[in-house]
Amino acid sequence: MIEVVIADLCTGCGACVEACPSDVFALETAGGRAAIARQADCQTCFLCELHCPADALYVAPNCDTVLGVTAAEAQASGQLGRFRRLSGWGDNPENYPNEHWRMSSVFERAFSMATAKS
Amino acid sequence: MSDVLTLSADVLVIGGGLAGAWAAVGAAREGARVVLAEKGFLGTSGVTATAGPGHWWVPPDPPELRDRAIAERMARGGFLGEAEWMARILDLTWRTLPTLAPFYDFATDHTGATHFRSLRGPEYMRALRQLVTSLGVCILDHSPALELLLADDGAVCGARGVAKQSRQDWQVTAPGVVLATGGCAFASHLLGSANNTGDGLLMAAEAGADFSGMEFTNAYCVAAAGTNMTRAMAYSFARYFDADGRALDIPPGPDSNRHLAAALARGPVLCSLERIPEDIRAHIPTIQPNFTVAFERAGIDPYTTRFPITLRGEGTVRGIGGVRVHGPACQTAVLGLYVAGDVATRELVTGAISGGGAQNSAWALSSGLLAGQGAAFQARAQGKSVSRGLHPAGQAALRPSGAVRPVDLAGARALVAAEMEDTGKNMFRHGKVLERSLATLDSAWREVAAHSAANGAGRVRAREVAAMLAAARWSKAASLARRETRGMHWREDAASADAGLQTRLTSGGLADAWTRFETPERAAAA
C-alpha cells in the first residue's frame, strides 16, 4: 500500500491526485503538498509512483497491511523512483527500453522447458 | 438540478479501461460526439494498466493459420464459442494495433520485425488516453456512474453518476451507451482490480439486460503471499514445495491452479523461480518493472529464495461471464445499450476456458471498437428525434424497496468476497455447497436492496456492494444449474462433461436469480 509522501520532495503538482485510480491523494490546503487522504482505498498498483515526476512516493508491496514506512526509511531504501526509472519514464530512458514485447518468447521458453522434461 | 453537471452526447462510454478507451475510439471515428465517464483515471484504471496484454495474434496468411487457431480454441473451450466471432476479433486486432504506432513505441527486434502483439499496461493505457484525447472525446475522470437512464420506451438514453473530486453529480444523455466497466473481481486482491466491482453488471440488469456464462467465474492467479502481484510470466517456470521442503507435483498449464489450491488447503506452499534462465532474469526488470520492484521492496531475491504464495480470485475478470451479447455490434437485450470488454460475456471468443490475456485483450479491443461504432450508428439513426422521458433505473442502495435503515455494507462486502474467493466453495464446486452460498447471498442481497439508501459519495461504495452481491448470485445460480464439468467450471459432484449441456447458460434477475440454457431442448434431452 501507499506508505508515505516524502514532503521534502513533493512539489505539489497534483499528478498523483489526478492519476490514482482509487482517489487516494489530496493536496493539503496549507502548503499545497500531496497527502494520503484515503490510505485504505489504495490498491497497491504502484502507478502513482510512475506518474510522480518528483519521485516523492513510496508504495510497499503489501496489499492488506500498512507497514508504517517513514520518509527517512523510504529515502534510505534506494527505491524512490525505481519503478519509474525501470519503466523508462524517468531519467535516461534509453537505458531502460520497454521490453514487454519479449513476454511471449519468455512464455514459449517456459513451455518448451516443461515439455522437454516430460 | 443546477448543481448537476449536465451534458449531452451521441455516445456515452461508461468505463475507461482498455475496452472503454477502444469504444470511445470506435465511436469518435464514426464522427460521434463522445463522453467517456471513468470511475478512476483513464490511464491507470482497469486491469490492463498494471498488466501487459499479449493479444490473440495470428497472421492472416496463410489462412490455415487462423482456421487452425480457431478450431483449436473451439475444442479447448468446450464448444461454447463461435468461430465467426473468433475470426472477427483476430482480424480487427491484427489490423488495429499497428494504428497505435503514433502513440506507442513498438519495438523492432534484431531481425527488423516490429512486435505489435504485446503491450505493457501503463504505456498502452497512456497511448490510448492520447489517442482518445486526439479524437476530441470528453473524458470525465474520477466520475463513477451510479445508474442508467431509460426513455419511456425502455431504451437506455444516458446515465447519472458522481464526480468524486468535485463532489458534483453528473448526468449525460446519449442515444447510444456503451458499458465498459470491466469484470467483477469480487473485492479480491487481484492486481489493479479495485474498481472492478461489477457496477456495469448491476446497471445492465436494472435496465433489463441478461447475462451469459456466469458460471465461469473461478479463475485464480498466483501471487507472493501478502501481495497482489499477480503477474503470471515468471510463474510459468515455477516449482512448488510444501512447508517441509517436499516438492509438490503441480503440472504446468491451465490446471496448475487447481493443484495449487488443493495444496494450499493443506498448508503453506512455497515457490521457487530458480529455473528461470539467467538471460531471461536480466530482462525481467524492463519487461515487468512492477514484478521486479515488488520483490526488491519485500527484500526477497525470488531466483534464489523460496517464498510463500497465495491464490487471488479473478472473478469474471479472467473468468468469462458477463452481459449477454445479442448482435454483431455488441448490442445487449436493451435498445441503446452496448457492451465492451470484460463486462460482456467472452464465451463467444473463449468458450468455457479463460481467454487469459490473449483472447480477452483482443476481445476488449474488438468489442470496444464494435460497440462504440454500433452506439454511434444508433445515435445517427435516431437523429434529432428526442426520446421521451428520462427515468433513473437504479434500485438497490439508491431507491430501496422497503424502509430505510442502517445496513452493514462492510459485512456484506466481506461476505461476498469470501463466497467468491474461497476455493473450497468457488473452485471445487458442489451442488449442496452452491445452494447454501446462494441462500446466504440471497439473504444479504434482500437486506441491501430493501433497506440501504446511501447519500453523496457513499453511494459509490454502496452500489459496489449491491453489484457484487448481484453478480455473485448469478454466478452461484449458474454454477448450480450447470450440473457437469466443462472448461473452468469444475463440479465435484458431476466430474465429467455432459454432451447435452454443450450450450451456453443465460442468467439474470434481481429479485430472484434465474437461469436458462440457450438451447433448452438440448439440455432437456440430457
Q: Does the pLDDT at position B521 exceed 70?
A: no
CB within 8 Å: A62 and B49 = no
CATH architecture of B5-215+316-392: 3-Layer(bba) Sandwich (3.50)
Whether B386 shows a pLDDT value over 90: the answer reads no
Confidence of residue B255 (pLDDT cuts 50, 70, 90): confident
pLDDT more than 90, % of chain B: 94
Short-list B100, B134, B131, CA closest to B117 = B100
pLDDT at B1: 42
Contact B41 A62 (CB under 8 A): no
Q: Which CATH architecture has domain B220-313?
A: Alpha-Beta Complex (3.90)
| B chain contacts of residue A66, beta-carbon cutoff 8 Å | none
A27: closest chain B residue by CA: B165
pLDDT tens digits, B278-303: 999 999 999 999 999 999 999 999 99
Look at residue B161 and give its three-state secondary structure. strand
In this complex, the residue of A61, A97, A109 whose CB is nearest that of residue B286 is A97
Q: Which of A20, A63, A103 sits opposite B41 (nearest CB)?
A: A20
Grid cell of B92 as nine digits: 480487427
Location of each CATH 3.50.50.60 domain in chain B: 5-215+316-392
**Pick from A19, A61, A64: which is nearest to B297 by CB?**
A61
State whether residue B195 sits within 8 Å of chain A by CB.
Answer: yes
Residues β-bridged to residue B224: B309
> Residues 29..48 of B with a Cβ closer than 8 Å to A: which?
39-41, 43-46
For A2-117, CATH gives 3.30.70.20
For residue B80, the model assigns a pLDDT of 96
Length reported for chain A: 118
Q: Is the pLDDT of residue B6 over 50?
A: yes
Is B296 near chain A, with CB under 8 Å? yes
Give, in order, the Cα–Cα distances in Å from B252 to each of B52, B258, B487.
21, 11, 16
Distance (Å) from the C-alpha of residue A54 to the closest C-alpha of chain B? 18
What is the mean pLDDT of the segment spanning B457-467? 96
pLDDT exceeds 60 at position B27? yes
Of the pLDDT bands very low, low, confident and very high (cuts 50, 70, 90), residue B357 is confident
Q: With an 8 Å Cβ cutoff, is B119 touching chain A? A: yes
Instruction: Using a pLDDT cut of 90, give the percent of chain A over it.
Output: 89
CA atoms of B299 and B311, how far apart (whole Å) = 21
- Whether the ω angle into residue B60 lies within 30 degrees of 0, i.e. cis, is no
pLDDT digits (tens, 9 = 90+) for A37-47: 999 999 999 99
pLDDT at A62 over 70: yes
B239–A contact, CB cutoff 8 A:
no
pLDDT of B48 higher than 90: yes
pLDDT at B519: 87
Which residue of A51, A62, A97 is in closest CB contact with B226?
A62
Hey, are the CB atoms on A101 and B109 less than 8 Å from each other?
Answer: yes
Q: Pick the more confident residue, B225 or B109.
A: B225
Place of cell 526488470: B285
The per-residue pLDDT of chain B, averaged, comes to 95
Rounded CA-CA distance A2/A38 in Å is 10
Best mutation site among B193, B286, B317, B421 for testing chain A: the one with the most A CBs within 10 Å?
Answer: B286
Contact A18/B38 with Cβ under 8 angstroms? Answer: no
For the segment B143-156, what is each residue's pLDDT rounded down to a tens digit? 999 999 999 999 99
User: Which residues of A fall below an 8 Å CB-CB distance to B?
Assistant: 17-23, 41, 43-47, 50-51, 60-65, 77, 79, 82-83, 86-89, 96-104, 106-107, 109-111, 113-114
Interface contact B297-A99, CB threshold 8 A: no
Q: What is the pLDDT of residues B399-408, one digit of tens each?
A: 999 999 999 9
Find the residue in A nearest to B57 (Cα).
Answer: A104
Secondary structure of B394-443 as H, E, C letters: CCCECCCCCCCCCCCHHHHHHHHHHHHHCHHHHCCECHHHHHHHHHHHHH
Residue from B467, B404, B462, B423 nearest B441 by CA: B467
Q: For residue range B89-98, what is the model confidence (pLDDT) as tens digits?
A: 999 999 999 9
Alpha-carbon torsion angle B125, B128, B130, B132, nearest 10: -140
Where residue B384 falls among pLDDT bands split at 50, 70, 90? low
CATH number of B409-525: 1.20.58.100
Chain-chain contact of B193 with A43 (C-beta, under 8 angstroms): yes
The CA distance from B187 to A6, in Å, is: 29
Residue A49 has pLDDT above 50, yes or no: yes
**Distance (Å, whole) CA B208 – CA B206:** 5
Report pLDDT for B522: 61
pLDDT at B524: 58
Option in A23, A41, A109 nearest B165 (CB): A23
CA closest to A99 among chain B residues: B287
| Pairwise pLDDT comparison (B382 vs B75), residue with the higher score | B75
Nearest Cα of chain B lies from the Cα of A72 at a distance, in angstroms, of 15
Answer for the pair B184, B316: CB distance below 8 angstroms, yes or no: yes
Q: Which chain A residue has its CA at the smallest distance from B39's CA?
A: A21
**Residue B14 pLDDT exceeds 60:** yes
Nearest to B350 by CA among B327, B373, B317: B317
> What is d(CA B151, CA B374) in angstroms, rounded to the nearest whole number?
19
Q: Do the beta carbons of residue B503 and residue B524 sit within 8 Å? A: no
- The domain limits of chain A are 2-117
Contact A9, A56 (CB under 8 A): yes
**B70 pLDDT more than 50:** yes
**Rounded average pLDDT over B261-272:** 97
Spatial CA neighbour of B340 closest among B11, B8, B13:
B13
**Does position A103 have pLDDT exceeding 80, yes or no?**
yes
Instruction: Using DSSP bridges, classify how beta strands B34-37 and B211-212 pair: parallel, antiparallel or unpaired.
Output: unpaired
Q: What residues contact B113, with CB distance under 8 A and at least 6 apart?
A: none
